[in-house]
Amino acid sequence: MMHWDYWRLIATISLAGFVGLLFDQMLVAMFLAVLAYALWLQHSWNKLYRWLRNPKKNRSPSAEGVMNDVCREIEWVRKQNRSRKKKLASYLRRFQVTTAALPDGIVVIETDGRIIWSNTVAESLLGVYWPQDNHVRVKNLIRDPKFQALFDSGITDGQFVHVTSPLNANMQLEVKMVSYMGTGRLLVARDITQTLKLQTMRRDFVANVSHELRTPLTVLRGYLETFNEDSPAEQWGAALPVMQQQTERMHVMITELLALSQLETGEKSINQESIDVQALLTSVIDDAKKLEEYQHHNIELELLSNDDLLADGDEIRSAISNLIFNAVKYTPAKCRINIKWYVDSKGAYIEVQDFGEGIAEHHLERLTERFYRVDSGRAQEMGGTGLGLAIVKHILQRHDAELTIESKVGAGSLFICHFPLTNTVAPS
């Protein structure tokens, strides 16, 4: 079928020929008609070109026929492209949101080692910023030799190295390279500071428990080895108190370790009750006065609030006993010990303050670690296990409370248990 354009051309030339015939100038008229048609066509092409270059500013050629079909076809392809672009943009946005939500730092690296994209976590872990670091060589930003060796080796099978974060010397990262889209590579970095800390703590813990239990066991074994059936009664008599003391020590340590592990694993649920703080503190002070180490310490009790404390009675008694007994154990005879209960707008406080020798500043941060003792010889003499303050800290944590320790050598120490206001209640 002949297209409308051909008919139009033929009709124009024929009409021009007919008009030209009237004036005896048929060929000239036909030539002029062809010329006009060619010019009009050229004009349409120009319009089409301008419209293609800038569709928003220029109108499409409004010609009929094939030019119109071309325009419609182009319009359709454009529409298709627009919706494909929209879809791709939404995929890209979803990809970026997903990778940004990942807890790992991710850096996409080209074959030549230059960065082409990274997520936001990579900023805080590796100090790689996108788009600022676009096309920077990753080796220029992460200079740890272990990373550089892994990068140069080209290994992408998930093998990882531990490196220190370029931003923070206390942050340890696990870094691995994964092959990405053929020749590219993906750097994946994970913060493992806490995991490493926990591993060290577990290792130290096992070493400490073994060490602590070995001392009393060695004493007991030593005595038992020297005994035989013929041993005189006096020898037994002298050894028995020491053996009893050491077994008691082991018993306390194991009981405290079990209590601590129960608190840490949260196996025991908190039994919230309304505690009469005055009765609790008075009773713990009475117990403290029965301690062997009690030497007429001057214990003062200041009760500035009538409120009760909402907490687990057994646990709080254990925590406060630890603090008050420590104040008695680690201060000289007749030393003043001040115990205070008060409530203000920020919470409720139980304070145990002594005016003894105090603790040097560099010990304070580690004081609540398991088995940490300032003067291990002296503390062991006192029957201390180094677990007391760790227990206090865990009990308070379970109550959303906090333990603060202030101390000055020669002036004394202040232990503050800070409970949230929600843990106070008017006495029933």
Q: Which residues bind ligand ADP (CB under 6 A)?
A: 322, 326-327, 330, 354, 356, 359, 367, 372-375, 379, 384-389, 413
**Vertex 322 angle, CA 318 and 323, to 5°:** 125
Nearer to ligand ADP, 202 or 408 (CB): 408
Min. distance of Cβ 338 from ligand ADP in angstroms? 12
Quick one: which H or E segment has residue 166? none
Min. distance of Cβ 298 from ligand ADP in angstroms? 15
Helix locations, 102-137, DSSP H: 120-126
Min. distance of Cβ 334 from ligand ADP in angstroms? 15
Min. distance of Cβ 386 from ligand ADP in angstroms? 4
Maximum alpha-carbon separation in the chain: 159
Min. distance of Cβ 359 from ligand ADP in angstroms? 5
Nearer to ligand ADP, 275 or 389 (CB): 389
Using left for φ > 0, alpha for ψ between -120 and 50, and beta otherwise, residue 135 falls in left
Min. distance of Cβ 379 from ligand ADP in angstroms? 3
Nearer to ligand ADP, 178 or 254 (CB): 254
* φ, ψ dihedrals at 420, nearest 5°: -65, 155
Give the pair of three-digit tokens for residue 55.
């569709």
Q: Under a CB-based contact definition with an 8 Å cutoff, are residues 330 and 352 in contact?
A: no
- Distance, in Å, from the CA atom of 61 to the CA atom of 91, rounded to the nearest integer, reads 36
HEC profile for 193-234?
A: HHHHHHHHHHHHHHHHHHHHHHHHHHHHHHHHHHCCCCCCHH
Give the CB-side neighbour count of residue 156, counting CA atoms within 13 A: 13
Nearer to ligand ADP, 71 or 387 (CB): 387
Nearer to ligand ADP, 152 or 381 (CB): 381
Pairing of strands 347-354, 412-419: antiparallel
Min. distance of Cβ 215 from ligand ADP in angstroms? 14
Give the pair of three-digit tokens for residue 117.
């994209």
Q: Residue 95, Cα to own-chain centre: how many angstroms?
A: 22
Nearer to ligand ADP, 109 or 389 (CB): 389
Min. distance of Cβ 289 from ligand ADP in angstroms? 16
Nearer to ligand ADP, 177 or 374 (CB): 374
Nearer to ligand ADP, 347 or 386 (CB): 386
Closest CA to 333 of 375, 300, 299, 358: 299
